[in-house]
Chains A and B, each alone.
Chain A
Amino acid sequence: MMSTTISNPMIENYFSELEKKMPGCSKAEREEFIREIRAHVLDRLLQTAAPTEEEYRAVLAAVGTPEEIARQYRLELMLNRAAKSRSPLLLLRSTLRWAVTGVQGFAVFLVACVGYMLALGLYVLAVLKPIFPHNVGMFVGPRGMNIAYMSHPRGQEVLGPYFTLVMMFAGLFLMQGTTLLLRFLINRFGKLKQKI
């Protein structure tokens, strides 16, 4: 009878590689997944009484490289989760992981960053307005419009006491808009990236 651990260095090396290739998912998720692949490898090895190095190699080759499996995991589970999520943090994390796989992912990650940063900026201004009522606002002057903190304000502040409320709504709108756009992009392009 086979024990639940395999003392073969090639196998152990394989699993430590796989673990390294799965950053970002929780420890529990990673362990569960690796446990399942390990059970699979054990089952395959059970088919031979005393596996040789060659057979170890063949079993691992049939399972797929750690990169291949980790990529599949990322695409099936993490992008899938993100595509349904409304959490900016999860979306940012997933797109960041997607970003390292190529130009397309990187472009989506940039969209995520710009969208959420702008939204955050609007929130910050909304909070700062009651503290610096004269320096924060929507200033309209001859040279255009500024939504900003200005130490020497130029132009006319047009929103006055409504600034905080308007910026809160604008921030929320931008945040939701970015989230929906990201979910669309992941659904539309993320799945296409899946390799066999």
Chain B
Amino acid sequence: MVLLRNTKAEPDEKWEAQLRKGCLELAILASLWEKRLYGLEILRVLEEDSKLVLAEGTVYPILGRLKEEGLLQSEWVEADAGHPRKYYWLTAAGRQKAATMAQFWNGFAANLTRLLKPVLNGR
């Protein structure tokens, strides 16, 4: 896991960091599409499925904000681990938002991929 501190980063790294950050909200909403998860599980999904890298702790304030915006709901659940975990799940508004964002992303990515084709092929 890499901790990104973009204050002294090269322009390219900065751009990558911005891009990741921009996608993070959608990625978090998408990770909760199937079932309710707690913070660490969300992080695992993000790492495995989308290679989104972030300082782990920073995901919690984002979860908090999404909850305040009414996109997520949460609940502390007792676990075998010996301490409770805070589970998150999508509200109806959250599902709607995830679907809209995914739709937009799809069109956006398709256009950009088409645009980038000559750049990638053209060596």
Contacts and interface: CB of A to CB of B under 8 A. Distances in A.
Interface in B72-106: 81-86
Contact of A39 (B3, B62, B86): B86
Contacts of A69: 55, 57-58, 60-61
Contact of B55 (A1, A3, A33, A63): A63
B55 A73 contact: no
A43 B84 CA distance: 10
Interface string A165-196: 00000000000000000000000000000111
B82 A64 contact: no
A80 B65 contact: yes
Contacts, number: 93
A187 to B, nearest CB: 14
Interface secondary structure of A, over-half rule = helix
Nearest to B86: A36
Interface in B34-69: 38-40, 54-58, 60-62, 64-65, 68-69
A196 B4 CA distance: 6
> Closest 7 interchain pairs by CB?
A64-B55, A76-B61, A64-B57, A69-B57, A63-B57, A73-B61, A4-B83
Given A36-B60, A72-B57, 5 more contacts: A1-B81, A37-B60, A64-B56, A68-B57, A196-B4
